[in-house]
Amino acid sequence: MITIYGDIDSGNCYKIYLLCHLLDIEFQWQAMDIAKGDLQTTEFLAKNPQGKVPLVELADGRFLTESNAILHYLAKGSKLVPADAYLNAKVYQWLFFEQYSHEPYIAVARFIKRFQGMPESRKAEFESKQGGGHKALKVMNDQLSQTAFLIGEQFSLADIALYAYTHVAEEGGFNLVDYPAIRRWIKQIQLMPNYVGMQLKN
Ligand SMILES: N[C@@H](CCC(=O)N[C@@H](CS)C(=O)NCC(=O)O)C(=O)O
C-alpha cells in the first residue's frame, strides 16, 4: 500500500487524496503539519530533501514528489489518462498550466489570506496575486464554456489537478461569481461517485 505524507489543507496534497478516492486506490495518510515544522525534521528530509508535501512512499519503499507527477503515476492506465496522444498531451498542457499560471497566484493568495490571516507585511504580495489568478480563472472559464471538462468531454487528471485550488479560490479572495462555467464544473465534480472534500475522512 502507498503512504501519502500530506497536509489536507494544501490543494497539492488534496489532489492526491481526491484521486485515490475516485479511483479506489488504497492508501495510508500520514498527516504532516507544515506550521509545526514537520517537513524540516532530519527524518522527513531524508525522504524528500525539498522538505515539501505531498510526498508518496510506494509499497516498495521508493518515493515520489511533485503532486502532478504523483497523479500521473497513480492514475496510469485508468480512464483519467487518455490513451490518445493529443488528449494525453492536453492533460499535460493543463497540468503545467496549473503549476505555472494558476497555483502560484491562487494558492499563495489563499495561504496569505486564510492561513496567515492577511498580515500587513504580505498585503502587497496578496494584491499582486489577484491579476494572475483572475487571468487563470478566465482561461479555465472560457474552456469550460465550450466543453464539459478541461480537455474536452472526458473527465481527466487535468480536472482533478485544477479543481484542487479552484474550488477554494474564494478563500484567496477570488470571487467565482463571474465564472459561471467554473461553478458548473465544480458542482459536476462534487457529484461524482466517491468524491471527497478537503477534510480527512476516518
Ligand atoms: N510543485 C510542488 C509544490 C509542493 C509545495 O510547495 N508544497 C507546499 C504545500 S502546498 C509545502 O510543502 N510547503 C512547505 C514549505 O515550502 O516549506 C507540488 O506540486 O507538489
Q: What is the pLDDT of residues 156-165, one digit of tens each?
A: 999 999 999 9
| Residue 6 near ligand 1, beta carbon < 6 Å | no
| Residue 141 near ligand 1, beta carbon < 6 Å | no
Longest dimension (CA), the chain: 49
Measured in whole angstroms, the distance separating CA 104 from the mean position of its chain's CA atoms is 12
Taking the CA of residue 54 as reference, the ligand 1 atom at the shortest distance is 20
Which regions in the chain score pLDDT beneath 70? 202
Q: If you take atom 2 of ligand 1, which residue's CA is the nearest one? A: 66
**Bridge partner list, 29:** 4
At which residue does the C-alpha cell 458548473 appear?
184
CB of 8 within 8 A of CB of 187? no
Half-sphere exposure of 130 (CA within 13 A, CB side): 11
- Give residue 13 CA to ligand 1 midpoint distance, Å: 9
- Give residue 139 CA to ligand 1 midpoint distance, Å: 24
- Give residue 80 CA to ligand 1 midpoint distance, Å: 24
Angle CA 87–192–28, to nearest 5: 90
Please give the Cα distance from 142 to 121 (Å, whole number): 34
CB of 25 within 8 A of CB of 80? no
Please give the Cα distance from 22 to 87 (Å, whole number): 20
What pLDDT score does 202 carry? 63
- Give residue 62 CA to ligand 1 midpoint distance, Å: 19
Q: Classify 2 in phi/psi space as left (phi over 0), alpha (psi -120 to 50) or beta.
A: beta
| Residue 154 near ligand 1, beta carbon < 6 Å | no
E strand segments, 42-165 = 55-57, 63-65
| Residue 109 near ligand 1, beta carbon < 6 Å | no
